[in-house]
Chains A and B, each alone.
Chain A
Amino acid sequence: MSRGAGVALGIRQIRYFNKAFWRNPASAFFTFIFPLMFLVIFTSLLGNGETQVGGRTVKDATYYVASMAAFSVITACYTNVAMGLAFQRDEGTLKRIRGTPIPPTAFLLARVAFSMLVALLLVTICATFGAALYGATIPSGATLLRFLAMLLAGAGSFAALGIAVTAIIPNADAAPPVVNATVLPLLFLSGIFIPIGDDAPGWITLIGKIFPVSHFLKGMSSAFLGTPFEWGDVLVVAIWGVAGLALAIRFFSWEPRS
């Protein structure tokens, strides 16, 4: 099959993922409504204080516009991909797909691309909301390009990690606990829900340096809050993505693990 035909097949597949996504109340709620709900809650509840980020003082409300945008991307790409694939694997959907002529990579890339599109939509909503109500800046020009580079690296990497983590999910019932256990502590330790100041304990700072979430958040924040942008953050996130991809290629299973 030519590459063009593979791409056409992938785009077609994205349309079916899209249809099924919006009709599934659980996925539409947890992936889509949930982060936006958090955004409203955090900005309303905690929006009046100020916080120090990257040498700047920003309103907490504005901070949460950036962090909830990052959270949306992680939910749509990591959590949703991992749980969705684990369920499909357990139900035998993936095994069935494997018996058809669609190239496996076209199917998985379509899944990744779809989650990135959902992430993009969520980030756009966060940005619009933040700019309208909380004085977040909407990136433009060079900032926009850098922001898009970070967004692309983050969405792609978290999706790759989402595929990779299915290897340690034994069955569909275990998907939510395993996925949440791998991501929730990291979200707290990386400043997604609670801003982490310079006076944070060393071990938390260290975890932030090692894992991709904090770097991703810094990249997203730079666009919305005007804090400094560092290509190093993009690099760390991308390295995690490549590692995730390698693990996914090595350990991904199309059949239920039993």
Chain B
Amino acid sequence: MSEPAIEVRGLEKSYGDVHAVRGIDLAVPRGEVFALLGPNGAGKTTTVEILEGYRTRTAGDVRVLGFDPARSERALKEQVGIVLQSTGVDPFLTVAETVDMYRGYYPRPRPRDEVIEVVGLQEKRDTRVRRLSGGQHRRLDVAVALAGDPDVLFLDEPTTGFDPNARRNAWDMVQNLQSLGKTVFLTTHYMDEAQVLADEVAVIVEGLIVARGTPDTLGGRDTATAIVRFRVDDGTLPDELARQVTFEQGMAEYRSEDPAAFLHALTGWALERGTGLDGLTVQRPTLEDVYLELTGEPVAEEL
């Protein structure tokens, strides 16, 4: 594998006495979707804007495609697409004109209609920007970022304010990008978004990365205590099983880091007796549970 698309070592950023980013390390391999999670004010946007070249850093080393973004080099900008949290485009140009205008800034742009298709705005091709809905506007933001056929794409909270349907569409779009081999650096405070899209996630809290991993292993999710629950009448379970569970409101509950042996015994017993196990669930902590524990704050509510 070649060098990572994005590499960050010891990154720090202070605004006066405020230490927004306090020494973080990251590496995003080419072609991967990376999600930076964190509550508002944790340093997500500061970090991504340093990577995009909008902010200077106080300390540390940053490389995007081998370039230092702080130097604002044209050769880097030609290979990077940026979707900021809020950005404007001229309201009086049409979707097609807007995409064309931005395509003109790049040496090897993607064909216009292809760009419009990736974000699903074919129907709105000749509509003026001011007549687009919020979700369509956001998709145009992405289209504009794709106009130059970038290798690396930065998406800063791309679905904030979307309704659930629009978010699913946006996710499809990001998955499209990944299949095109793009490296995507995403910030979000939606756990389900990270779960669906990211190959790797890192959680940033108060300027520090407190956990990282795949969405399935973050914070030891995969090995954390599993909870087995099922409905059973009191007294019917054989002693060896009953000993291991607690009862609450007619539900038996069993906790273990490795529930395999218990589940084997339980299902064996149920099969033998010919009873179903009503309401049987095996649960590990969700990404949201892990996030909550790490950040100590309630997760953003899904719209």
Contacts and interface: CB of A to CB of B under 8 A. Distances in A.
Interface stretch (A93-101, A142-150, A193-201, A223-231): A93-101
Given A19-B97, A95-B87, A101 B92 contact: no
B77 interface: yes
Interface centre among B80, B82, B102, B104 (most CB of A within 10 A): B104
A95 B141 CA distance: 13
A50 interface: no
Interface string B87-108: 1111111000100011011110
B294 to A, nearest CB: 30
Interface in A12-43: 12-13, 16, 19-20, 23-24
Nearest to A107: B105
Given A16-B97, A100-B148, A92 B90 contact: no
Contact of B148 (A19, A91, A101): A101
A49 to B, nearest CB: 42
B89 A101 contact: no
Contacts of A19: 92-93, 97
B88 A9 contact: no
B90 A93 contact: yes
Contact of B90 (A12, A20, A100, A103): A20
Interface in A88-130: 88, 90-93, 95-96, 98-103
Interface of B is mostly: loop
Contact of B87 (A1, A9, A91, A102): A91
Contact of B104 (A9, A20, A88, A96): A9
A96 B87 contact: yes
Nearest to A99: B82
Contacts of B107: 101
Nearest to B128: A23
B119 interface: no
Given A96-B82, A100-B148, A12 B92 contact: no
Contacts of A103: 74
Contacts of A100: 77, 102, 105-106, 148
A23 B131 CA distance: 13
Nearest to A23: B92
B104 to A, nearest CB: 5
Given A91-B87, A96-B82, A101-B77, A20 B144 contact: no
Contacts of A16: 90, 93, 97, 101
Given A1-B74, A16-B90, A255-B54, A101 B84 contact: no
Interface in B188-242: none
B86 interface: yes
A68 to B, nearest CB: 27
Given A99-B77, A100-B148, A102-B105, A93 B89 contact: yes
Interface string A146-168: 00000000000000000000000
B92 A98 contact: no
Given A100-B106, A255-B54, A92 B88 contact: yes
A91 B104 contact: no
B78 A99 contact: no
B135 interface: no
Given A100-B105, A101-B74, A92 B87 contact: yes
Which 3 pairs between the two chains have the least Cβ-Cβ distance? A91-B88, A92-B87, A23-B92
19 contacts: A9-B105, A13-B101, A16-B90, A16-B101, A19-B92, A23-B128, A24-B91, A92-B88, A93-B87, A93-B88, A95-B54, A96-B84, A96-B87, A98-B54, A99-B54, A100-B102, A101-B105, A101-B106, A101-B107
Given A23-B128, A102-B105, 15 more contacts: A1-B74, A16-B101, A19-B92, A20-B92, A24-B92, A95-B87, A96-B84, A99-B80, A99-B84, A100-B77, A100-B102, A100-B105, A101-B106, A101-B148, A255-B54
Interface of B: 52-54, 74, 77-78, 80, 82, 84, 86-93, 97, 101-102, 104-107, 128, 144, 148
